[in-house]
Structures are given as C-alpha cells and as structure tokens.
A and B are shown apart, each in its own frame.
Chain A
C-alpha cells in the first residue's frame, strides 16, 4: 500500500520530517518512488509568494527548450533553484531538477486570479505536451507558493539524493507519498501527489472506478483534466471540480466521492441538494477503497476515505502542527509530543479538515452535517 504523510504546521518544516515518517511506515520492500509537494514555502522562496513556481525535471535539451518557450510566452524568470544532488546508489540521476520562479507576462499582471490560474495551467500543459514525447521535460506544478519534487527510488534514499536534510527548502504544508512496489518502471507523471490550480492530493488504495471517473472528468471541458497515468490523479481533479469549478464548499467533496445512501440523505438539512448532486455526479463515486489526503488553495488540509478502506488513515498533532498519515507510526514520528488519545481515525462518514496555519481541526460528519 502506498505510504502517505502530510504535515501542516504554523512553522516552516523540512520535508525530511515527512520522509522519516514514511520510513517508519515502511513495511517490507515497498518504496519505489517519492513525490513531495510543498506549499506555503519558506527558505529562498519566502519572499516570492505572489509569483508562480514551475517545478520540472529536464534534460539538458529540455532546459534550453523550456527557457525559449517561457520567454516566448512572456514569463520573466525571477529566481531559479535546483537541489544539490548527492549521488546515491540505486537512484538514477537526471540532468536537472529545475524549480523556477517567474513573473507573469505583462498583460496578465493585473488580471483576476482565476485568469492567472488558467494561464498557469495552460502553460504547464503546453510544457508537458512539448516535453513528453522525448521525455525532455516533466512539468509537475506551476503555481504560486507550491513546489514539487518527484523521483523513482526509495524515499529515504531520495531524501539523501535531494540533500533535503541539509537543504534550506522548507514549507508549512508538505504532502509526501512513498510509492508501493507494484511497479518499478514508474512513469514520473504517475507519481503522487498530483496538482491542479492550487489543489494537491495523494491517495492510497486502487481506484476501481477509475475508467468511468476519468471519462466523466475528461468530458467536463477543462483541458487540465488530462494525464491520468495514475488512477489516483482523478481524486485531485474531482476536488478541483467540486470546490473550484462548481464552487461548492470543500466538505461536499465527501458527498460527491462517497455519496450517502438514499435513506441516509433524508437525515441531512440539505437533502434536496445532495440528492441532486448524487445523481448528477454519479460517475464520480469512487467506490473505494481509498484514502485521500490533500490541500486546497487557501491552505486547508484534509483527509477523507470511503467505507471500504480497511486500514484507515489517522490525523493527530498539537495546535500549530498536525500530521495526516496512512499509519499511526508515521504520526508518532512526525508529532511525537501529541496527546495520542486525541488522535482521529476518520470513519466512513468523516472528513477531517485542518484550517490554514494548522490552527483548528474539524471533523465534518456527513451523516449529521
């Protein structure tokens, strides 16, 4: 099973904390990839929060193509960062793990946020299209204050490879996924966490309803609903669709992916609305077993799972620092000083939402909402 580790904190933390928690959750020989997604960045990005950050892996040719492309689109480079790679046996080093901060093209600087977000997503998709055929560029995210690192290998070794224990890269929210060992020929675009316009999520468990969900999302008319090299990418896009495209409050994500039964709906004060939602968004029912952990553009972090998830995730911590993990031992590693009796194991009706800044934990119960 994929290992998931998310931490949300009021202070800047190193992603090594997540990697160490992934290590404690390791069972046997599982660990064929690592995905890191950092939000609310510190370190060298601390003062660049309004500018979009492009996270890529490029070959030497890819760097040249990317530079020319971004220039042609009017993006002015403000800052560039690459991890100080330390060669580690078993990890195949690629040419560049390139993170670049840009200023918007002049004509977009005063545009509304949504238009800027569309520009960033379309630019990322264009870069992906350009670099995918020859593998010269992988573009994971292009958005203000979000940084993504991915590579194939054991998560702990990759932490060393990226030199994260000595790096000044820090953030207040970190999603980390250690990939299970079902597939060694991992395509980088199949690595969690996935990102679209401020929404990042990661998942464990296989998605049995993947094909109908993918087909439904691809019919929504959003060019960003593409890729799907992993069946888990749909969870990110559903969150984006429900919360951003339809504009529903975040907890309706739970109603969409794990809809209530007809009789249960009657217990809700918004029964009429969710009954309609259940019908209209029927193909987005995930039919599990999955645990989804993610963040939204405002910095809320959430965990949700369906009734078939036999090994539920756990949320716990102290005010100012909370962990959302697939195993309790990961939480012990990340926040050992917490009161364990307050740990939350979200049941099938629960959605745990932690407010921005790790201030407050809310357990939203679908049945008694």
Chain B
C-alpha cells in the first residue's frame, strides 16, 4: 500500500458528490459552517491584532469542557457552552493578571497561560478517560469525519451558532468596525470599547467550543485566521473582506474533502491545508500586495530612469 494513492478522477472528484453525497455532503456543510463562523470572528481578531488570543482560547477550552463533563456528567450543549465560556474568561483574566502584575511580557503570558490550561485538560481527559467522552485524538483532529453518523443535532447546533455570528456581525457592524479601527472615534460616538471587546471574546468562546468538536483544538486556530488573512490580502474594504471570508470557507471545505478523499487522511487537516494553499495563492497573485506583482513592479522600477519615476508621480 502506497503512502500517496493514485489520483482516480472518478473516486476523488465525482464520487463524493454522487454516490457518497449522503456522508460527504454533510461533512462539507459542517466544514463550511465551522469555517464561516470562525472566519468571520477571526476577521475582527486580525484587525485588532488579537489573533493569538484566539490561539490561547482555543487551547484553554479543553479543560473547561473536561471539567464541565466531570461535574455535570452530561454532554448537553448548555453545560459544554458554560464550561468553555468559563475557560475563555479565565484565560483572558489570567493573561491580564500575569501581564499586569509582573514584568513578564504579554506574549510570554499568553504562552504560559494557554499551555498550562491545555496541560490540565489533557491530564484530565487521560486520567478520566472512561468518564469523559473526549479523547486525545479528538482534541487534535476533531471528529468531522463522524458527523454523518451522529445525526442532525451537531449540524443544527453549528448552523445556529453560525447564524448567530452572522446576525451579531450585521446588527453590530458599525460598533465592531469603529472600535476595531479607531478607538478614539468609538469613544466619541459613545461606544463602550470594553463591552465590545468582552462581547467579542464571548462570541469567540462560543464559536471555538462549537468548532472544537469538529476540528480539534489546534486546527481551530487555522479556521480563525486563514480566511480573514486571505481576505485581507485581496481587499482593503471590510464588507468585501467578510464576503471573501465566506468564499474562502466554502472553497477550503469542498477542496479539503477532495484532498482527504484522495490521500485518505484527516478531513479537518485537509481542509486547513487547502485553506493554506488558498492563502498561498492569494499571497502570490493578489493584485495589490501579491509577491508576483511586487516582483514585476520592482523590476519595472529598475528599468525606469529617474526622470520617468519623477514624472510618473
């Protein structure tokens, strides 16, 4: 058996949408919902230079989930949500505490906090392996491949979260926009930056915990950052960026399924790899910031004489 199976058009491209639509359709939908919700929130994280807070929260959700399981002994959505929200708040507070009360810088504070919480989570799920319905593999890869077997509940839940995210972003569009770009203007318009910040953190916790089950703790970071980063390479206008985020989510989900079917590997991993490939394409070919145009432009500049450069300005 080879590491890389041969590329059979029928098996890789056609079959997932014809005979296996029953399972891959659901997986594609789930991947799209997860990537959309994460990507939309992630856009604001990137704009506010808080991408690594997303990193921290996605790791520290694990102990929150494990403790919620152990205390309440159920896997109901509400308990999971509360556990994850608690973990998210604790993470934010701990980072602030370490950063404010000692001379440790913020980056190190983030690193210390999330790794400790994640370590507690991993120990809890390995000690109480029989009681907690989570295992180490799920933490890393997610369980998106088993979505078709789990009935409609997870998809409906994720759809609700995605709809909630979209609704909140539409309703509070102005507040988010202004407070992300110009805190002074936000203050003068009477927008409470603290409330916006903590609401965004809560939304992030909700999105991360819903996505956690499907894609695992670490790939969530990719889902948060990749769509927004790709979009920001292609456009400078926020509405367009949000649209491109959704497009990126859909493309990476569909292409990821094809890659996973071809290579027979982790589906969540393949979705992220395709998302990264899309980012790479945007990085090279983007009309304004792309590497290719940059290279062409700089060569063009070399050929121009000094008066030409002056006159062109």
Q: Do A and B come from one complex?
A: no
Give the interface of A toward B (CB within 8 A): none
